[in-house]
Chain A
Amino acid sequence: MIPIRDDNPQVATPIATYTLIGLNVLAWVLLQGFGNESALNASVCNYGLIPGDLFSDGNGQRVCRASGEWSGLVSSMFMHGSWMHIIGNMWFLWVFGDNIEDSMGTARFFIFYILSGLAAAAAQILSDPSSMIPMVGASGAIGGVMGAYIILYPKVKVHMLIFIMIVRIPAIAMLGYWVGVQVLGGISSIGATGGGTAFWAHVGGFAAGALLVLIFKDEEMLVNHPYYGWNQKADPLDIWQDPKNRQ
Chain B
Amino acid sequence: MTDLLESTQVRAMYMSDTASVIEIISDHDDDDGEAAEAEFQDEGVEGHFVLVDGDDVLGISGYREIENCDATYYLSWTYLDEDYQGKGLGKKLLADVLDRLRKQDARKIFVKVSDYEEDGKNVYAAALSMYKSFGFEVEVVGQDFYDDGESQTILGLELTPQSEDLSVADEKPVIRFNGLFEIAETDGAYTFAWIVEKSAGFFGKRSFTPEDLELGISSVKEQGGRKIFLTFPSNLVLIHRPLQAVGFKYVGQLKDYYEEGLHELHFSHDLEGIG
Residue numbers of A with Cβ under 8 A of B are: 9, 11, 105-108, 220-221, 223-224, 236-237, 239-240, 245-247
List the A side residues contacting B206 at CB < 8 Å: 220-221
Q: How far is the CB of A228 from chain B (nearest CB, A)?
A: 12
Q: Is B11 an interface residue (CB 8 A)?
A: no
Contacts between chains A and B (CB distance < 8 A), count: 49
Q: In the complex, identify which listed stretch (B40-48, B87-95, B101-109, B237-245) lies at the interface while the others stay far away.
A: B237-245
> In the complex, are the beta carbons of A105 and B244 less than 8 A apart?
no
Output the least CB separation between B248 and chain A (Å): 9
Q: Using known A-B contacts A105-B202, A107-B202, A246-B249, determine if residue A220 contacts B172 with beta carbons closer than 8 Å.
A: yes
Contact A107 B203 (CB under 8 A): yes
| Assembly CA distance A245 to B241 (angstroms) | 12
Name 19 interchain pairs, CB-CB below 8 A, sorted by A.
A105-B203, A107-B203, A108-B203, A221-B172, A221-B206, A223-B172, A236-B170, A236-B237, A237-B240, A237-B250, A237-B265, A239-B240, A240-B249, A246-B249, A246-B250, A246-B251, A247-B250, A247-B252, A247-B268
* Distance of A245 Cα from B169 Cα, bound (Å): 25
Residues of A near B238 (CB, < 8 A) are: 220, 223
**Nearest Cβ in chain A — how far from B94, in angstroms?**
29
- Kindly state whether residue B207 has any CB partner on chain A within 8 Å: yes
Q: How far is the CA of A236 from the CA of B237 in the complex (A)?
A: 6
User: What residues of chain B have their CB less than 8 Å away from a CB belonging to chain A?
Assistant: 142-143, 169-170, 172, 202-203, 205-207, 234, 237-238, 240-241, 244, 249-252, 265, 268, 275
**Which B residues lie within 8 Å of A9 (CB)?**
169
A220 touching B205, Cβ below 8 Å: yes
Given A107-B202, A108-B203, A220-B207: A236 in contact with B249 (beta carbons within 8 A)? no
Given the interface contacts A221-B172, A223-B172, does A247 sit within 8 Å of B251 by beta carbon? yes
Given contacts A236-B237, A239-B241, A240-B240, contact A245 B249 (CB under 8 A): yes
Nearest chain B CB to A171's CB is how many angstroms away? 21
Q: Which residue of A lies closest to B234 (CB)?
A: A237
Q: Considering the complex of A and B, which 10 residue pairs feature the smallest CB-CB distances, nearest first?
A: A240-B250, A107-B202, A224-B237, A247-B249, A236-B237, A247-B251, A246-B250, A236-B240, A247-B268, A220-B206
Given A220-B172, A240-B240, A246-B249, 14 extra CB contacts under 8 A:
A105-B202, A105-B203, A107-B203, A108-B203, A220-B205, A221-B172, A223-B237, A223-B238, A237-B265, A240-B249, A245-B244, A245-B249, A247-B268, A247-B275
B111 CB, min distance to chain A CBs, angstroms: 20
A247 touches B143 (CB 8 A): yes
- A108–B202 alpha-carbon span in the complex (Å): 8
Most buried by B among A9, A221, A239, A247: A247
- In the complex, which residues of chain A have a beta carbon less than 8 angstroms from the beta carbon of B268? 247
A107 to B204, CA, bound (A): 11
B247 to chain A, nearest CB (A): 9
For A11, what are the chain B residues with a Cβ–Cβ distance below 8 Å? Answer: 172
User: Which residues of B sit under 8 angstroms from A224, Cβ to Cβ?
Assistant: 170, 237
Specify which chain B residues have a CB less than 8 angstroms from the CB of A223 in the assembled complex. 172, 237-238
Distance, CA A246 to CA B240, complexed state (A): 13
* B142 contact set on A, CB distance < 8 A: 247
Kindly list chain B residues whose C-beta atoms are within 8 Å of the C-beta of A105.
202-203
